Structure 1
Amino acid sequence: MTQHEAILALVSGKVQGVWFRASTQKVAQSLHLIGYAKNLPDGRVEVKACGDHDSIQQLIDYLHQGPELAEVSQVDLQHIDPFEASAFRTI
């Protein structure tokens, strides 16, 4: 059985209005992750995701870069209880 893990990431910088959420969704779907990405009122993007370790790590790597127009200045990352994932919708 594959071990799952889950993350909560708060991504700062120029991450709204640059297709960050849509591109994160596309990457996460290709990695078979569940979760969501949403804009926050303070200009950050919140990402929650759950899946296998390698896929989560690939998503984390992507969050530090983002799409071409993004300028990521910081990614605050927390590992959270993967059992919370049952409340996630597909990214």
Structure 2
Amino acid sequence: MQNSSPPNSIRAHVIVSRRVQGVGYRFSTLDEANSRGITGWVRNLPDGRVEAVFEGTEETVTEMIRWCDQGPPTSVVKDVFVEYQKPEGLQQFDIRR
């Protein structure tokens, strides 16, 4: 379900690489996003990376991107690629398959 975004919201499309699958990265991302009031989604990619979209205020999205640099304790993050896009007004945060 999508609606218009609040005027101060931003959207970040993020790709995280290294050891980020099989370590609870998606579920930890869900918890972190929900605790910050961020909407969007996260999913595993076939090549072993994790892809996510975060929508929220500039402050909360920036915090979420910073969190991605570390991830959960069992992950090993090498790179976090970020591309800013126009928000779609997503209403919740989901894990996509």
Of the candidates 13, 18, 28, which is equivalent to residue 23 of structure 2? 18
Q: Which runs of 5+ in 1 are unaligned?
A: none
Of the candidates 36, 41, 56, which is equivalent to residue 61 of structure 2? 56
Structure 1 residues 40, 59: closer, same or farther in 2, change over 3 A?
same
Aligned equivalents of 1:40, 1:90: Cα separation in 2: 21
Q: How many residues align?
A: 88
User: How much identity, in percent, do the aligned residues show?
Assistant: 33
Please list the CA deviations of residues 33-55 of structure 1 after superposition, one character each: whole Å capped at 9, or x if unmatched.
Answer: 11000000000000001000110
What is the TM-score normalised by the length of structure 2?
0.86
> Is the 1:36–1:89 contact (alpha carbons within 8 Å) kept by the matching residues of 2?
no
Q: Residues 36-47 of structure 1 correspond to what in structure 2 (within 5 A)?
A: 36-47=41-52
Q: Which runs of 5+ in 2 are unaligned?
A: 1-5
Q: Give the C-alpha shift of residue 90 in structure 1.
A: 1.7
What is the TM-score normalised by the length of structure 1?
0.91
Q: In the alignment, does 2:51 pair up with 1:75?
A: no
Runs of at least 4 residues off by over 4 Å = none
